[in-house]
Amino acid sequence: MPARAADARRAAVLGKPIAHSLSPVLHRAAYDELGLTEWSYERFEVDEAGLPGFIEQLGPEWAGLSLTMPLKRAVIPLLDEVSETAASVDAVNTVVFTQDGRRAGDNTDIPGMVAALREHGIEQVDSAAILGAGATASSALAALARICTGEVVAYVRSAARAAEMREWGERLDVEVRVSDWADAEQALRAPLVIATTPAGTTDDLATAVPERPTTLFDVLYHPWPTALAARWSMFGGAVVSGLDLLVHQAVLQVEQMTGRSPAPVEAMRRAGEKALAER
């Protein structure tokens, strides 16, 4: 039986560029598993200048939006409410349109990181290292604020980035020490290493992986594995991938947008793995 117009709900991911996004694959897999045959999930290339107009023209059939760069901060002035989690890093990756017409912003990257680590047995660490700085690194710091009981060392390339990471540490109440990227090999001996850098940046560190590595969380998912992740696995270390993060943050988005819980983690993961294998 075709869905009634009143049952049809829409969601989408916005950003620029957006063609690479796996979000449609993950969300559609969840809808299929949950029997939400009347739901659709699309992708739209939208930049900061076009975001206000895009949101203003959305109708009542819209349930929510996923946001990627460069929109995570730009959307905040357009919202009626922002969660404490999103406000802590000035970044919204999820917008839910409530029944009373309000626009509610949240950040599922942070709890998604925590959930991905928990899935690999990491509940708490006494120290950690972050490779890189920027938006993803600030989310990593916010995640570490929940699970790290001691110092976080951030390895960065510039004085400006160093200052940013110190500021984020103060804001998130995380003990942050900043080191120069030239010393990044030292990071690999931390109980938990989170790599937040673009593709290729950590390749030179692969030869420095210790004989008994601990846990590496590499936020990249394509191409995969990275040289660092491959070497880490070869030496027997635990590896959390960017796909793990992508799936867990999407799980939370699906639950918020549809009101259905729990979202089908494994079905979403299989769909993501299949899509990546076909690329």
The catalytic residue positions are: 72
List the Cα angle 94/41/75 in 5-degree steps: 30
List the Cα angle 221/222/225 in 5-degree steps: 70
Task: Let me know: does 77 contact 95? Beta carbons within 8 Å.
Answer: no
Q: Using alpha carbons, select from 190, 244, 197 the residue that is nearest to residue 215.
A: 190
φ, ψ dihedrals at 242, nearest 5°: -65, -30
Instruction: List, in sequence order, every residue forming a beta bridge with 173; answer none if it has no partner.
Output: none
Distance from chain centroid for Cα 143: 11
According to DSSP, the β-strands at 103-106 and 128-131 are unpaired
User: SS3 for 243?
Assistant: helix
| DSSP secondary structure letters along 126-192 | S-EEEE--SHHHHHHHHHHHHHB-S-EEEEESSHHHHHHHHHHHHHHT--EEEEEGGGGGGGGGSSE
Per-residue buried b or exposed e for 196-211, using 16+ beta carbons within 10 Å of the residue's own CB:
bbeeebbeebbeebee
Q: Is 76 exposed, middle or buried (0-12, 13-18, 19+ CB in 10 A)?
A: middle
